[in-house]
Structure 1
């Protein structure tokens, strides 16, 4: 890439950063504290980003989107996290941007034209039903089944950690359509874009540690009927369609964590400069200052990996190692920064008026989801270093 092209690209990304930052910071910390306290979905925030066109950042223009790349999406969600919105804000936008990707890549033209413009305008909220309580990270062992009866598919089963289930009207649902084959365990699962019909879906909210503003749910499915037109792509290939979206989502999740870490670091630095103990600001003490400096460096380094992975993905180059590393390093750096912000605030870290405890609670999720740190280490050990597979 020539220097002129590189400068133009950087200027473009700076425009994205500024625009996302300006909009996200119209919603202050008090707004997010209220959403968290009252478990209130941030509809005003979602509406503002939808009206500005951000929901369609990855959608082609022909379906009402911006037609931009994962790099721009990563920068946008990083700024949302850095605004103090935390996962409450990042998840609310994230679930308009990434769950529709299998539809965009593998859905019929009729399906794409029917649903993608609605998603791009923020007029349709969808849920994502993959994880099950009995299978954990071994998706090949899901028990939710879809059986053909006449001209309809009838689905029965259970999903867990389904985001947006309280408000969504549609769910991208992974179900087995043929028995598990030990030789090819990931075959035989199909994606359906189904109505989240409350007559056949019992949606129960999970009381959880953080991100109370954006609901997580158990979904019990009993006799949900789905038409052939709502099958995404080919029968039995659903899990492989999900794999298409794993690398970009891991990149962006890492960038969200980095943003949250930066928000916490900013709060900690402000507190360290203004909190006076023994006639001096606590930031003058190296025991306070040095950990904050170290966390700044970790966040900066993690962002470099995140942007590198995003650039590779947007250039259609292999990026599995970089995407997984971006998720691991971003989640680690974000969590460390939030935890150090808690330590910097000392006893006041438990006071919700200082906001750092909310960021700490929310960023902790990203060490577990959408993939655990341990599973990333498994991937790097086996696929990058060539060590024997451990699972």
Structure 2
């Protein structure tokens, strides 16, 4: 089955990524999931091919591509049956460094990220008591001479055990000393190996998806002042720019999942015969699959709109949020249609549907819940009263 939206200006890119992914079939991802492992070989292959350096400008050793192309890469990984969640952080975390980092920081880190010598897979923002209310975070970074001293706790900090660099958001000015609650937060590059030796403790969180994520504790962790990204106190704004990229890329992954589920459902419904007819001939099977496919196609268009605005340097918060919501809903609808089509076999690990079903369910909740997106659109797009 060929999606109309997948025959586009990026077909050569799609084919190249798909070819690499074909070396890592469903059996590979199933073994990784069963072991609760990390797809090291796959991530290394992506890095060697240059795909994880897509957003790094050519002068720093990257491919110099845009978010549009990065989204296609993420989509194709999930479309192949893989899981971009193991490596997508490198794409959107770099957005903060690329847009707000100093030239010295870019020269120090980007070429090594491009070659794979360093990985920047992790972002520490969320805290146990703040969740989506980021401006109330309690982790502090106090300037002392040429260093910042960090104390606090983060949660759901993903891929940290497979990352050399981490983006950290912390409060550098107390909340009661700023005129706007978005002020006084700053963002840093943390070198993970050094931090682990100097006061940072990492505790893995077991979860329903094979997703490496952690609690992180900071006890007087010292960070060089030169690791501050941009201006002190403006970190929340820098993070927001990165989050728009994150939501657009997550949307692309959900779109890839949506196509994977509909492909599987179509194939199975055509081959499974009950009462002397393929079950796909029955409208009760056919219509949910068709509806899911339509919704995936529509979400894909919004994804491209958000990515194009981002690449043009234009505001894209509304589009990125809407793309993420549409794609998450579409992939979840496709997952349910696929599982229902397969019946009991959909629960068997060898069919891979239950694995992908668990993976795509995450995106109803993270990295931003659908409810918060609706609240954002209600307030910032429709001009309705703030609901929280």
- Quickly name the TM-score band, shorter chain normalised: over 0.9
Deviation at 1:338, TM superposition (A): 0.8
Partner of 1:314: 311
Which segment is superposed worse, 16-25 or 218-227? 16-25
Encode CA deviations 1:188-211: one digit per residue, 9 max, x unaligned: 11111112222312111111111x
Deviation at 1:177, TM superposition (A): 0.8
Match of 1:178 among 165, 173, 185: 173
Alignment pair present for 1:103 and 2:97: yes
Partner of 2:106: 112
- 8 A Cα contact 1:46 1:122, kept in partner: no
- 8 A Cα contact 2:157 2:214, kept in partner: yes
Structure 2 unaligned residues grouped into runs of 5+: 1-6
- 8 A Cα contact 1:163 1:217, kept in partner: yes
- 8 A Cα contact 1:55 1:121, kept in partner: no
Which segment is superposed worse, 279-288 or 220-229? 279-288
For 1:194 and 1:249, how far apart are their aligned partners in 2? 19
Equivalenced residue count is: 377
Partner of 2:151: 156
SS of equivalent residue, structure 2 residue 202: strand
Match of 1:334 among 295, 319, 331: 331
Structure 1 unaligned residues grouped into runs of 5+: 1-9
- 8 A Cα contact 2:71 2:248, kept in partner: yes
Alignment pair present for 1:193 and 2:179: no
For 2:274 and 2:202, how far apart are their aligned partners in 1? 50
- 8 A Cα contact 1:96 1:122, kept in partner: no
Q: CA-atom RMSD, angstroms?
A: 1.5
Alignment pair present for 1:259 and 2:253: no
Match of 1:141 among 111, 136, 156: 136
- 8 A Cα contact 2:188 2:229, kept in partner: yes
For 2:221 and 2:361, how far apart are their aligned partners in 1? 34
For 1:321 and 1:192, how far apart are their aligned partners in 2? 26
Partner of 1:13: 10
SS of equivalent residue, structure 2 residue 161: coil
- 8 A Cα contact 1:130 1:174, kept in partner: yes
Match of 1:129 among 99, 124, 128: 124
Match of 1:229 among 201, 226, 247: 226
- 8 A Cα contact 1:65 1:120, kept in partner: yes
For 2:329 and 2:385, how far apart are their aligned partners in 1? 25
Q: How does 1:269-288 map to 2 (within 5 A)?
A: 269-288=266-285
For 2:267 and 2:136, how far apart are their aligned partners in 1? 49
For 2:259 and 2:158, how far apart are their aligned partners in 1? 25
- 8 A Cα contact 1:147 1:177, kept in partner: yes
For 1:50 and 1:24, how far apart are their aligned partners in 2? 13
For 1:236 and 1:371, how far apart are their aligned partners in 2? 23
For 1:29 and 1:261, how far apart are their aligned partners in 2? 16
- 8 A Cα contact 2:95 2:245, kept in partner: no
- 8 A Cα contact 2:348 2:354, kept in partner: yes
- 8 A Cα contact 1:251 1:306, kept in partner: yes
TM-score normalized with structure 2 length = 0.94
Deviation at 1:166, TM superposition (A): 1.8
Partner of 2:372: 375
Which segment is superposed worse, 145-154 or 31-40? 145-154
Q: How does 1:241-260 map to 2 (within 5 A)?
A: 241-260=238-257
Alignment pair present for 1:219 and 2:213: no
TM-score normalized with structure 1 length = 0.93
> Which consecutive segments of 4 or more residues in structure 1 shift more than 3 A?
none
